[in-house]
Structure 1
Amino acid sequence: MQKITPFLWFDDQAEEAARFYTSIFKNSKINAISHYGESGPRPAGMVMTVSFQLEGQEFTALNGGPEFKFNPAISLYVDCKTQAEVDFLWEKLCEGGRPDQCGWLTDRYGISWQIVPTTLTELLQDRDAEKAGRVMQAMLKMTKIDIAELQRIYAG
């Protein structure tokens, strides 16, 4: 068991969100679902928590009520090996959500994601500050990250 587990507070979409996420990511599954009992604070029988895994990372989703909303101050970072993986995750997670800048998007539940190719990180860490700077400027103008375009700009 991992020591730290992200705990996501939803109004009443915890199970729906967990099923959505596990349908997108490989090596993912629902581990357990618990329900509220007679003592509340939500209606008896309503899903209370959903324990699930995405790519081996444990998460818990809670149907806690409408009091709190997600915001971009916390995001889920996904390291992608290929443009195909970036494209797939971007398309799926944007369904019902919205694209943001620099590889960020907000999904239909309000959770912020960073869909980032490994290549971007490598290019930004290049010892040649001029090349890394060109990549940074290009990335800042992108919504979904385009690996081929970054490599073209890097090459000069």
Structure 2
Amino acid sequence: MKLFRLVILSLCIGYCYANLVMAFDLPVTKQLEHWLAGQMDKQQIPWKLFSGVIGAAIIPFICAYMYARTHKWLVTMLSIIIAVHCIGNRHKTLWDYQGIVAFFEPLTANTINLTTAIYLLLIIVWPLIFMGLIQRIDSAVN
């Protein structure tokens, strides 16, 4: 029963994270392209560049940390896999098993650009970094 609750929590958090990331998808990608082209001021980088994806991870993964402290890394990894699957299936049906493959499809193209690579890695790596930061803050306080 405990494993079932962890899977349901991971499904909810992953789906929430995927929808939040898809809501911020275009603005973050455009900001990254402008920054790489040198059209953004250096002082605008920390706030405007990754605010969408960074903000999208805060609430779902704080919930993962609060509700599954003993299994926080399992819930985080399952949530990321579910989010990658949902983002990969944004133009298809949700239950299509090719979602993870479709998510990484831009990386296999011959015309990969730095914007796409950074954005895809940010979706996967940022929740892990954020969970590690929360764990360090919690261990420093307690």
Q: Determine if the TM-score, normalized by the shorter chain, exceeds 0.5.
A: no
TM band (smaller chain)? under 0.3
TM-score by length of 2: 0.28
TM-score by length of 1: 0.26
Say which one has the larger Rg: 1
Q: Which of the two has greater helix per residue?
A: 2
